[in-house]
Chain A
């Protein structure tokens, strides 16, 4: 067994950005281990996507094509990729940690008696082997993992952990791979993806966002944060649990399942900073965090921080903002 196989993701005729980050991780493993790198895309009729793949530094590209792979299904992807992995016998299989990969990759790995080392934030060569870094407890702790034994080793990488900009260009041949599939082995029938009713707030263009998390404890405490948002002239937004509880509408949720925002100021109040939240706001120009836990992961992306009880700080801040604005 040798080599690295990266599985890229695409939708609607375009690559998912995280695919290139996974490829960057693949290049890193390839150069550290001196092994050949290949990359695969899965679907039907992938001619148009081949060109971009061929322009990257890799030894070989594969179009895994079949009419039954036109729409994503876990069964279809697992069967097709199982055949490709058996043919190539790679030592590492690298994927982007997308919702789709979460859906099929653990099952694919299990076919090889392996588990997926999911959501990696880093990796490094150490002796003959690699150390893989992932988060525990929603980002409060990190852990170094090893995968010492049998191969292949299945890895998925977290959004933003590897830089697509660092991807090396090159030229590769892309060949077609036709897996054996039959319709009866694909048990689920997917409909076309859809969005819920049109959004009435566009957080994407708001210059100031005041975002509230579970630290607020009760719905009755929300007005305190709304008052601060009003004083600053900003929009109110929230982490997922606040919207799950129905305290604010889902269209105000920031994160991987919600909106992606990049305001001039993002004020995170009582938000711990789980990765699914961070991916929605880390493009903000300035991040301010108020949290009672000095180790909360939100401080990892904050420019300014106040460690303390939001119930004391938020009212004081509203007062101070009002005073500064001469209101």
Chain B
């Protein structure tokens, strides 16, 4: 089975986000980046499917040079090779523009299965995978918590709201968007890190791909949410704050 996993770099969790001078996006200068969390689970699922059924795992990333680090980590964990669409203009594209690039870069790969995370921690639009499936003309399913592959088809477990699930079967090739927690993430081994250095990374320049249409939606302004609720902030040393909070819980909330 040939599996392509689309991965994205996002600012590391708990980064101190500052809005840039233009007010359109965040200041990226001092940020460090890591793999988007659901994408890490998508990669894990791909590696497990390969271990069970054989085949190949190809990591796919669109982004600037810093993306090489995340690609190296995917290769160290066990991806066989990678495709890096090199571009600095992601912020100016919409989902359709990005999915178009991804589709163009992999159309000759003839993958059986394409996995993506269900959404990114930065934009959170949750559509790159679904739109990619549409552009490739293959079926898809989202928020996946389990994948069982048979020959020519797969059965997946979709997460629904409120603790409900559903099994869905579909023919291959197909695209799935993977939910965090589908399985336990592995760490790269020393051996894996060594091997990664010898693995192939195909670099595709965005300029060589078909020109994407102009974005249909644009971000006009990024800002801190204005607070609507009056939160009583309790200050002091941990001990003082704890004592004050207990007073509130006793006399205002009346749960003690």
Footprint of B on A, CB under 8 Å? Answer: 74-75, 98-100, 102-104, 106-107, 110-111, 113-119, 131, 134-150, 187-196, 199, 207-208, 232, 240-241, 243-246, 250, 256-260, 264-265, 285-286, 288-289, 293, 295, 297, 299-309, 312-313, 315-317, 319-321, 323-325
Contact = CB atoms under 8 A, between A and B. Distances in A.
Contacts of A285: 253
Contacts of B94: 115
Interface in B202-224: 213-214, 216-224
A82 B192 CA distance: 47
B193 interface: no
Contacts of B223: 141-144
Contact of B166 (A192, A199, A244, A306): A192
The secondary structure that dominates the A interface is mixed
Given A98-B161, A192-B166, A304 B245 contact: yes
B220 A145 contact: yes
A146 B85 CA distance: 27
B124 A188 contact: no
27 contacts: A103-B142, A104-B130, A106-B127, A106-B130, A106-B134, A110-B134, A114-B216, A118-B124, A141-B19, A142-B222, A143-B221, A143-B222, A188-B139, A194-B165, A232-B256, A244-B180, A245-B181, A245-B184, A256-B162, A258-B163, A264-B253, A265-B255, A301-B229, A304-B248, A312-B238, A316-B239, A317-B245
A170 B189 CA distance: 64
Interface string B153-172: 00000111111111111110
B169 A189 contact: yes
A303 B246 contact: no
A144 B221 contact: yes
A118 B125 contact: yes
A326 B73 CA distance: 53
A307 B164 CA distance: 35
Contacts of A256: 161-162
Contacts of A136: 122-124, 222
B238 A299 contact: no
Contact of B163 (A102, A195, A244, A313): A195
Contacts of A188: 139, 141, 168-170
B256 A118 contact: no
B152 interface: no
User: Ordered nearest first, which 9 A-B pairs have the shortest CB separation?
Assistant: A244-B181, A106-B127, A316-B242, A312-B238, A106-B130, A188-B170, A187-B139, A191-B167, A320-B242
A235 B228 CA distance: 29
Given A99-B143, A260-B162, 20 more contacts: A99-B158, A102-B130, A106-B126, A106-B127, A107-B131, A110-B96, A115-B125, A115-B217, A141-B224, A149-B214, A191-B168, A196-B165, A199-B163, A240-B181, A256-B161, A264-B255, A286-B253, A297-B225, A299-B229, A304-B231
Nearest to A246: B184
A208 B255 contact: yes
Given A188-B170, A324-B256, A142 B161 contact: no
A252 B147 CA distance: 24
How many of chain B's residues touch chain A, expressed as a range?
Answer: 35 or more
Given A99-B143, A187-B139, A299-B231, A240 B224 contact: no
A46 to B, nearest CB: 21
Contacts of A147: 216-217
B110 interface: no
Contacts of B216: 113-115, 147, 149-150
Given A141-B223, A191-B167, A115 B96 contact: yes
B233 interface: yes
Given A188-B169, A189-B168, A300 B228 contact: yes
Chain A CB count within 10 A is highest, among B94, B122, B249, for: B249
B231 A316 contact: no
B225 A193 contact: no
B87 interface: no
B238 A116 contact: no
B29 interface: no
A304 B234 contact: yes
A7 B192 CA distance: 49
A146 B169 contact: no
A119 B220 contact: no
A62 to B, nearest CB: 24
A141 B19 CA distance: 9
A295 B158 CA distance: 33
Nearest to B133: A107
Nearest to B213: A113
A324 B253 CA distance: 14
B154 to A, nearest CB: 10
A319 B242 contact: yes
Nearest to B122: A137
A258 B140 CA distance: 24
Interface string B1-19: 0000000000100100101
Nearest to B123: A136
B231 A302 contact: yes
Interface centre among A104, A134, A316 (most CB of B within 10 A): A316
B90 interface: no
Contacts of B17: 137, 140-141
Contacts of A245: 181, 184
